[in-house]
Amino acid sequence: MRLNNFIGGQWVAPETGQYRPDIDPANGEVIAEVPLSSRQDTERAIAAAADAYPRWRKVPGPKRGEILFRVGQILQARKRELAEKMTREMGKVRLEAEGDVQEGIDMAFYMAGEGRRSFGFTTPSELPDKFAMALRDSIGVAGIITPWNFPMAIPTWKIFPALVSGNTVVFKPATESPYLAYELVKILEEAGIPPGVVNLVFGSGREVGETLLTDPRVQLISFTGSNETGRHVAQVAGGLLKRVSLELGGKNAVIVMDDANLDLAVDGIIWSAYGTTGQRCTACSRIIVHEGIYDRLRDRLKERIRGLRLGHGLSAETDVGPLVNQAAVEKVQHYVELGQQEGAHLEIGGGIPDDPTLAHGHFYLPTLFTDVTPEMRIANEEIFGPVLSMIRVKSLDEAIEVNNRVSYGLSSSIFTQDVNRAFQAIRDLATGIVYINAGTTGAEIHLPFGGTKGTGNGHRESGEAAIDFFTEWKAVYVDYSGRLQRAQIDT
Ligand code: UN1
């Protein structure tokens, strides 16, 4: 099947006439052909979004919300089928793909309701017979640039609050997950989004992404992806005074104290480290373990890792799917070699499975390193794969210090049954998300999502925080005194 761009309410071929294959990472099958669009294609989409904006911003919020409500209903009805397509496209197992679509459903219904909220406030004026209030206003055209690891959830985190707030959208999905982007935009069309309000352009960062960053008609950029690209986005779009939201990954840790419920800790670590094959921004890639429990936890983890079954994500037998592509396999392999050179001990995994039935996919064995020290590169850099580093500590203070020393700050977690330790961790863990007695993944869509330091630039996604990003304040003063009243003077 050949996908096309969606511009001004029409499905159109790219002016380049060029397409690239979209490939199932578990077996190499071609799923679809996807446009390789140019700067001109992108400019056409921006023009359509800019043209639609003055009309869309005047559509009452509740009406905009109703469209999102319909989107939520369609997503709900098609959840299984969309999840299956997602698994074929980027490899995550069916259960997790369904969770990904569910995040989109949750976001649609939350943002549908936001159409009737989007609260501003009134406040007393310092002058008599004068009324003061602050309203949320739309901003303009939003450039939405998304990664492949949450092909449904992350686009909905950005597109739905942008739309309900009255902005129009040009959407550039990752080249590795175009099919789900296409499905989402088709659903928005079916739900009644007017022409030009949402536009979709497939293509590279160099052509499509760069045009979004530099075109003056795009006022907002919401980007999730690598730290390196995020810095470029911040420089280029920030230099043009665009409003920019960046979500750039993590080096998330689970702390396990000597009083932890070990069964629970093992479950939480396995789920957050190897779920989605470690390809989540929130994935656990470090465990910071009290020395009193280190050896027992290592043995328990090894036993569980040994039992993890690799395979196609659509098979009910599979626990861990493939990595997204060959470049990801090479990156993970590079870090595993680096970890060994740095002196970490490879306990299990660390290579490509020798099972011939997996030979056509991008599989990598779930990997555990022990004797990792906080200075090692494998303990600091985002690997984005199924590689876990186990660090030994002597106290909670040391665990918190080790957690906080990395340059990222997205998610962290602690397993302890001591309420005092739990509250100290809540206070001192320097991440945007903190879990007590749960792994580092599983953020819910009505709470702020994002992190500190190298994880981003201070904005948060999801819930009310997303409305903060996609609106700006308008302060309004209504003087009903009938005379000139000068603020700061006639008070
Ligand atoms: C991401 O990996 O970029 O909390 C998003 C979680 C998911 C979202 C992850 N709900 O792991």
What is the reported pLDDT for 29?
Answer: 92
Residue 486 located in a structural domain:
no
Q: What is the mean pLDDT of residues 432-455?
A: 98
Residue 257 and residue 127 share a domain: no
Distance 276 CA to ligand 1 centre (A): 10
Outline where DSSP puts E strands in 205-319.
Answer: 218-224, 243-247, 252-256, 284-290
pLDDT tens figures, 21-41: 999 999 999 999 999 999 999
For 48, 63, 69, 309, the CA distances from 52, given in Å and listed in that order, are 6, 16, 21, 49
pLDDT tens digits for 334-393?
999 999 999 999 999 999 999 999 999 999 999 999 999 999 999 999 999 999 999 999
Closest ligand 1 atom to 272 CA: 11
Q: What is the pLDDT of residue 182?
A: 98
Quick one: 346 and 468 in the same domain?
no
CATH code assigned at 186: 3.40.605.10
224 and 83 within one domain: yes
Asked whether residue 490 is assigned to any structural domain, the reply reads no
256 and 243 both lie in a single domain = no
The answer on 366 and 351 residing in a single domain is yes
- For ligand 1, what atom is nearest to the CA of residue 103? 10
- Test site for ligand 1: of 176, 247, 280, 444, most ligand atoms within 8 A of the Cβ: 280
Catalytic residue among 96, 114, 207, 247: 247
The reply to whether 174 and 268 lie within a common domain is no
Nearest residue by C-alpha to atom 1 in ligand 1:
281
Examine residue 110 and state whether it is found in any structural domain, yes or no: yes
- Digit-coded pLDDT (tens) for 81-126: 999 999 999 999 999 999 999 999 999 999 999 999 999 999 999 9
pLDDT value of position 207: 96
Active-site residue, 247 included: yes
In this predicted structure, what is the pLDDT of residue 101?
A: 98
Predicted confidence band of residue 410 (pLDDT cuts 50, 70, 90):
very high
Task: Report the separation in Å between the CA atom of 185 and the middle of ligand 1, taken as the mean of its atom positions.
Answer: 21
Percent over 70 (pLDDT), the chain: 100
Give the angle subtended at the CA of 441 by the CAs of 342 and 327, to the nearest 5°.
Answer: 50
- The residue whose CA is least distant from atom 3 of ligand 1 is 281
Cα–ligand 1 centroid distance for 216 (angstroms): 31
Same domain, 144 and 261: no
Contact at 8 Å (CB) between 152 and 171? Answer: no
What is the pTM assigned to this prediction? 0.97
Segment 271-294 shows an average pLDDT of 98
Q: Is residue 325 assigned to a domain?
A: yes
Are 116 and 142 found together in one domain? yes
- Answer yes or no: is pLDDT of 491 > 90: no
> How far is ligand 1, taken at its centre, from the CA of residue 249, in Å?
10
User: Could you list the residue range(s) of the whole structural domain that residue 344 is in?
Assistant: 252-436
Query: Based on the domain organization, do 257 and 243 belong to the same domain?
Result: no
250 Cα: distance to centroid of ligand 1 (angstroms): 11
What is the token pair recorded at 200?
């979709």
Tell which residue, 125, 203, 135, 134, has the closest CA to residue 165.
135
One domain for residues 39 and 178: yes
> What is the three-class DSSP state of 47?
helix
The reply to whether 171 and 197 lie within a common domain is: yes
pLDDT digits (tens, 9 = 90+) for 235-248: 999 999 999 999 99
Nearest ligand 1 atom to alpha carbon 445: 10
- Can you name the residues that pair with 254 across neighbouring β-strands? 287, 413
Atom of ligand 1 nearest to the CA of 281: 2
Does one domain contain both 372 and 317?
Answer: yes
pLDDT for the residue 215: 98
CA nearest ligand 1 atom 11, residue: 441
Mean pLDDT estimate for the chain: 97
The pLDDT of residue 110 is: 98
In a domain, 321, yes or no: yes
Which of 92, 100, 449, when mutated, tests ligand 1's pocket best, judged by the most ligand atoms within 8 Å of its CB? 449
Q: What is the pLDDT of residue 456?
A: 97
| Domain tally, the chain | 2
Within a domain: 136:
yes
Stretch 280-292: mean pLDDT? 98
Identify the residues whose C-beta falls under 6 Å from ligand 1: 103, 149-150, 224, 280-282, 441-443
Stretch 183-207: mean pLDDT: 98
Q: Report if residue 179 sits inside a domain.
A: yes
Give me ligand 1 centre to Cα 318, in Å. Answer: 21
Please report whether residue 265 resides in a domain. Answer: yes
